[in-house]
Chains A and B, each alone.
Chain A
Amino acid sequence: MNHTDGEQAMEPALEYVSYDFALSRRDFVKATLGAGLLLVVPATAFAQQKESGQRRRSTFLGTGARNVAARIHFGVDGTITVLCGKVEGGQGARAELSQAAAEELRVPVERIQMLLADTSVVPDDGMTAGSGSTPRTVPAIRRGAATARNLLIEFACARWKAPRTDVEVRDGAAVHAGSHRSVSYADLARDGSAAKLLDASIPSNVALTPTQEWKVMGTPVSRPTGREIVTGVHRCPSDIARPGMLYGKILRPPAFHAELLSIDLAAAQAMPGVVVVRDGSFVGVAAANTQQARRAMEAIAPTAKWQMTTQPSSRELFDSLREHAEGGAPVNPFAAEVKTGKSLRREYHVPYIQHAPLEPRAAVAEWQGTQLTVWTGSQNPFGVRDELAQTFHMPEEQVRVVIPDFGAAFGGKHTGEYAVEAARLARVAGRPVSLRWTREEEFTWAYFRPAGVIEAEANLDDKGRIATWHFVNINSGPNAVETPYAVGKSDCLFVPSAPPLRHGSYRALAATANTFAREVFMDELAALAGADPLAFRRAHLEDARLRAVLDAAAEHFGWQAKSNAGIGLACGTEKGSYVAACVEIEIDRTDKVIRVKRVCEAFECGAIVNPANLRGQVQGAIIMGLGAALREEIEFENGRILNGSFREYRVPRLEDVPEIEIHLVNRPDLPSAGAGETPIIAVAPAIANAVFRATGARVSALPVRV
């Protein structure tokens, strides 16, 4: 059995790009700045090769805030700044974390300034990934804020020599019940004892405001930076400019794993104002604007000679994954039972797909002596800091990583190679360098959602119930590999393989693949049992929360009343939240097009922290799920991506969007779970099941085709 809890299961092994600036290099790096000016940079400024598998210092969960002062800064002018290591990439962390602080500090949410992800000042709250901000960081912020509120009460009690029961905090001030005297957080900040008071550690058991008393949490607080967004003045990482900044370009190999044999840099070196860097396989240029950098790169790239490696193509992907399954594809331990009665054996395929965030990877790097500052878009600020520190052989304290609110990630921005590349160029240039990957680079050199082969086998007992269940995911991951249904005997496994492409996290990760395969298999088993897909699921569902969303989706959709052939449903659970979707489709058999007309999704993630943002996340996940269900698939051949552009890799657009109904099931009695991921998992299998019902032809692969 594979274990699906713990940090390892939350994130797949991240494939870092390990730049090796020390192995095959000479004692210095030569660079020309302008025609003829030679810079010599000592080799010790750059990295030694990292030992493979070396663990980075930052962790998935982070260390959190050491004390109240590390979490909240109270200004003598009344400002309240909350410090947090999470990032905002459109998922709504900024609003939600502000609500958490405002709730416990007893201040209006507008009073909170939320300072996110500047590693020089914020606590390490871990990666912004795995739907972790809501269940872990919101409580961490609340504990810090509740502790601060208690400190204010103690401060007031001491000042007034009043019992604690006579003092309460409202609207940012401790108020004495009898005398109506008050003392604010700013008063506390002005007091000589403030530094000592705020040095207090944050107790893990500090009392938090009960859900039924929430005033700020549970309300639809909007994005604090909305005005900057609609006026175009918000600066994403790719918008950051520094005085004297240059723009970089990196030489990319013509195929994965190609080794640079030789290159003639002379043409770029002769260009005025162009900085050229070669260090082993790393070749980059920087110039006063992107056009000049592009021209310089275009002048030298054709002179590069490469050692190429033969690699598999997407046509043989699934054979290759199965063939390289570690230890071979496991056999079904229930093989003997499967031979009796009704049984099914199926195989499902899930291709590589891309996150394609609208802002490609970007970083601005600036050196001041031995201090390095990088502004970049990443879900892993402290991880990027450590990656930079290791690559350039520096203590972490000399590296500052700042993550401005950026143009989305969806699990795709966990590593920091673009920050390393920008810093490598900036080091030689002696000036800040902005590196912005092109869309083609993003489609090629970023990582992909893992492809997978899923083998499923089950048999039914004489009452039409699932007696044995064998489910094996090869390569794509362990998330949601276990079945949530009550079955007789179950054996669910994840088996790693040898992936031909660099893969990593994605929205809901392998829960997309595993839920697709399981839910499609469930419909086939329902057909085998002669049962309605809804009734068949309900007969196997003991999990009350999953059952509740399935019932909600089916009821609002009108499942029972519909005889329409083109309907399908699916449900699932991942990371502590629950989802069910019903869809209605139309098939154009001439053009072989599946048109989704309606999606009705029910979602439950415990107590809802921000209903407006939650609705946006669910809606966005449904639409992203439509792309993966119907169109998205990375094609590759011999180390080259064949459809690496928005022209060829079609992501959902306005006219692809069906009528969408979202039913949020609020459970104030339960802890809040994250919601950025799970709402995506039911979409693709519901569509596949609708196609199966409409055509009778079973679906065994994504994207779904007719």
Chain B
Amino acid sequence: MDARITFTLNGKPQALTTDSERPLLEVLREDLHLTGAKYGCGEGECRACTVLLNGEPVPSCLTTVGEVRGQSVQTIEGLAQGETLHPVQEAFLKESAFQCGYCTPGMILGIVGVMQKNPQASEAEYREELQKHICRCGGYPKYRDIVSRIAGTGTVKARV
């Protein structure tokens, strides 16, 4: 049943009328043309569809658009400030921490979510989040290296 749904998307008010049971992922991609969140499994097992819901990384394939009514959603498209990349995006770019790049937006948002929630988060907390994400190309050592440099600092330390 169609309903009018309003929420905050990447810091701006967003309103649309649609079936509130639709997965947020499909609404973002098909109605709002934000395709940074990717479909990988539809059951929350790969986290390629990760977005931040009130700052928390969630699988948007398992979140209905009705559930985000009145909430704040952030996607990868809203992470950089103009031309300035978020430090985690900058780290991924600098380290070429991607192969096919399909899991990358979800990986970055997963890390950013942990970081925003607690800038002092430990390496174990970052790894616990990354454990939920699948990178089929096997780029894990680079992600592990990046979070080891973020842990406890809330920013990305230079490589020693």
Binding site for B on A (CB under 8 A): 89-92, 222-223, 225-227, 229-236, 238-239, 241, 247, 289-291, 356-360, 405-408, 410, 436, 438-439, 612, 616, 619-624, 645-647, 651-655, 657, 660
Contact = CB atoms under 8 A, between A and B. Distances in A.
Given A620-B138, A654-B131, 15 more contacts: A90-B100, A223-B101, A226-B93, A227-B93, A230-B85, A231-B76, A231-B80, A239-B29, A359-B100, A408-B99, A439-B43, A624-B138, A646-B46, A654-B127, A654-B144
Given A90-B100, A623-B140, A651 B134 contact: yes
Tell me what chain A mostly uses at the interface: helix, strand, loop, or mixed.
loop
B22 A289 contact: yes
A291 B137 contact: no
B113 interface: no
Q: Is the interface on chain B under 10, 10 to 19, 20 to 34, or 35 or more residues?
A: 35 or more
A623 B134 CA distance: 12
A148 to B, nearest CB: 29
B72 interface: no
Contacts of B77: 231-233
A620 B135 CA distance: 9
A238 B76 contact: no
Interface in B4-30: 18-19, 21-23, 26, 29-30
Given A226-B93, A358-B46, A358-B135, A654 B143 contact: yes
Contacts of B133: 653-654
* Residue among B48, B93, B105, B140 with most chain A CB within 10 A: B140
B137 A90 contact: yes
A622 B98 contact: no
Interface of B: 18-19, 21-23, 26, 29-31, 33-43, 45-46, 48, 75-77, 79-80, 85, 89, 92-93, 96, 98-105, 108, 127, 130-131, 133-141, 143-144
Given A90-B101, A654-B130, A230 B93 contact: yes
Nearest to B126: A654
Given A291-B21, A660-B141, A358 B100 contact: yes
A405 B138 contact: no
Nearest to A617: B99
A229 B40 contact: no
B100 A654 contact: no
11 contacts: A92-B99, A230-B89, A232-B75, A233-B36, A291-B21, A358-B102, A358-B134, A405-B101, A408-B100, A408-B136, A655-B127
Given A232-B105, A646-B41, A660-B141, A289 B26 contact: yes
Given A90-B100, A90-B101, A616-B99, A407 B38 contact: yes
Contacts of A438: 42
Contact of A231 (B89, B138, B143): B89
A645 B44 CA distance: 11
* Residue among B42, B89, B102 with most chain A CB within 10 A: B102
A237 to B, nearest CB: 11
A232 B103 CA distance: 10
B89 A657 contact: no
Contacts of A652: 138, 140
A645 B45 contact: yes
A502 B136 CA distance: 22
Contacts of B143: 654
B9 to A, nearest CB: 14
Contact of A621 (B22, B89, B138): B138
Contacts of B76: 231-232
B47 to A, nearest CB: 10
B41 A238 contact: no
Contact of A622 (B99, B127, B136, B138): B138
Contacts of A92: 99
A439 B136 CA distance: 13
A406 B100 contact: yes
Given A232-B76, A646-B41, A290 B138 contact: no
Given A90-B99, A226-B98, A622-B138, A653 B92 contact: no
Contacts of B138: 619-624, 652, 657
